[in-house]
Structure formats: structure tokens, C-alpha cells
């Protein structure tokens, strides 16, 4: 459905829905909608789904003729230096068909994918869950000397991961902070790896279960750091 704003010489728009299964904090009305980095429209409305409050429905107004295809994806992003949240569209391969509305929907629905902040939060939750699960039995696994070493590991890891909460709240606003966060997590993961070599099978098992998750988190942080620098 095309929408024509009042006034001569203005642009026609097509309307689309995008349904987000995460918080849209920081996204405002008239926020940009970009297609591979090119401004193609605005966010027309932001509405909480009262039947499922985990979902938020966005109404996007895109310049008429924008190449929105069936494989086009919408992701929430935060612009590095300004901290402005916007909707980024990507995909739209040449052999994909145009995206059309399917009854009873009034507008076509663009697919969505989790934002970087949502993926970071999921990784961190997984890491901390494994640490909590293992620490419940740590007294039965470790000798007194090894308990001291393990507490030092947890302390380093806690200091590093505690910084991620505020980081997620201001994604993209400080590339330097992201760099420091990645450095802290690298040191924590390295310390855990070194300690695992010397404190027996119990800690080696913890490292095997947890460090791959930390590595995934560091990979996400590297992606975020690159995004912030752009």
C-alpha cells in the first residue's frame, strides 16, 4: 500500500511491518530505516503487542520501489558515535521475489533477526549460567589451595563481565570501552586457561564447558568494536 504525504514534490512511501522479539529501547519514531546503509525510509510507529508483550510491532515507511524481497532481513542497529538506534535492512537477493502482504495482514511483514546486543546478552547469560552451575559444586571438587586459585579466576571474570551490562545499554557509543571490555575478557579467559592446567580435572572440565562461550562473546565484542569504529 502506497502512502503519499501531503504537499507537492514529496515522496511516495510503501508501508511494511517488522515484528521484533526483543527490546526496542532507544528506537524512536522517525528513526532511519536503511537498506545496506542507504537511507530508504523512517519508522512510522512502534507498538507493543498486548497479546504477547515480548513482541513489538514496527511500522516502516519505505520509499516506494525500495527492493524489499522475501529474503530481506530487518535488524536493530546502533550508530557508533551518535548512539542513534535505527533499522537496518539487508538481503534481497536478485532471484528473490518481491515481498507482498498475505491476508489477513494489511502490510507485508519483513523478517527480523536478533540485534547484536541481544546476541551478546544471550552469550553472557550462557557463560554465567555455566559458571554458576559449576561453582555450586566447587567445594567438593577443589582442594583448599585450588579453591583460592579458582576464586581468583571468578573474580577476574566477574569484573570483566560486569562491565557488559552498561555496555549493552550504550552499544556503539564508545569504541574505546568495547576495546577495554574485550581486553578484560581476554585476560580472564587466559587466566582461566592457565589455572586449568594446574588445578586438576575439575577445573579443566569447567574450562572446556565455559571458555568456548567466552570466545564466542569475544568474537561478538570484536564485531561490535568494528561497528563502533565505523
d(CA 184, CA 209): 20
CA 100, 101, 106, 109 torsion: positive or negative? negative
Q: What angle do CA 117, 123, 124 make, to 5 degrees?
A: 90
How many other CB atoms are found less than 10 A from the CB of residue 213? Answer: 19
- CA 70, chain centre distance (Å): 23
Is the model's pTM score more than 0.95?
no
Fold of 116-229: 1.20.120
DSSP E strands: which ranges in the chain? 2-3, 13-20, 32-35, 38-48, 56-63, 73-78, 85-90, 109-112
Please give the pLDDT value at position 97: 96
For residue 9, the number of C-alpha atoms closer than 13 Å in the C-beta half-sphere is: 0
Please give the pLDDT value at position 116: 86
| pLDDT means over runs of 10, the chain (230 residues) | 53 94 94 96 97 96 96 92 88 94 95 89 74 60 62 59 54 49 54 49 55 64 57
Is the CB of residue 176 less than 8 Å from the CB of residue 190? no
Please give the pLDDT value at position 174: 44
CA 146, 152, 155, 160 torsion: positive or negative? negative
d(CA 126, CA 209): 10
Please give the pLDDT value at position 162: 59
Please give the pLDDT value at position 93: 93
d(CA 35, CA 133): 43
Listed residue (127, 130, 124, 133) closest to 165, CA to CA: 124
Amino acid at each position: 500500500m502506497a502512502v503519499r504525504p501531503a504537499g507537492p514534490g514529496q515522496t511516495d512511501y510503501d508501508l511494511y511491518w517488522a515484528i521484533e522479539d526483543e527490546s526496542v529501547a532507544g528506537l524512536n519514531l522517525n528513526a532511519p530505516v536503511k537498506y545496506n546503509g542507504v537511507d530508504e525510509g523512517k519508522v512510522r510507529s512502534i507498538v507493543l503487542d498486548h497479546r504477547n508483550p515480548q513482541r513489538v510491532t514496527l511500522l516502516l515507511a519505505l520509499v516506494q520501489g525500495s527492493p524489499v524481497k522475501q529474503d530481506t532481513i530487518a535488524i536493530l542497529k546502533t550508530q557508533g558515535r551518535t548512539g542513534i538506534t535505527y533499522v537496518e535492512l539487508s538481503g534481497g537477493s536478485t532471484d528473490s521475489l518481491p515481498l507482498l502482504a498475505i491476508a489477513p495482514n494489511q502490510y507485508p511483514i519483513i523478517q527480523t533477526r536478533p540485534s547484536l546486543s541481544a546476541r551478546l546478552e544471550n552469550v553472557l547469560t550462557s557463560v554465567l549460567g555455566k559458571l554458576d552451575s559449576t561453582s555450586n559444586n566447587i567445594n567438593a571438587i577443589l582442594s583448599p589451595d585450588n579453591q583460592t586459585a579458582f576464586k581468583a579466576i571468578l573474580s577476574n571474570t566477574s569484573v570483566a563481565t560486569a562491565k557488559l551490562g552498561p555496555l549493552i545499554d550504550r552499544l556503539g557509543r564508545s569504541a574505546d570501552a568495547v576495546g577495554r571490555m574485550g581486553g578484560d575478557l581476554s585476560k580472564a579467559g587466559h587466566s582461566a586457561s592457565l589455572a586449568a592446567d594446574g588445578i586438576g580435572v575439575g577445573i579443566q572440565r569447567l574450562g572446556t564447558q565455559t571458555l568456548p562461550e567466552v570466545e564466542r562473546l569475544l568474537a561478538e565484542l570484536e564485531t561490535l568494536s568494528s561497528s563502533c569504529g565505523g
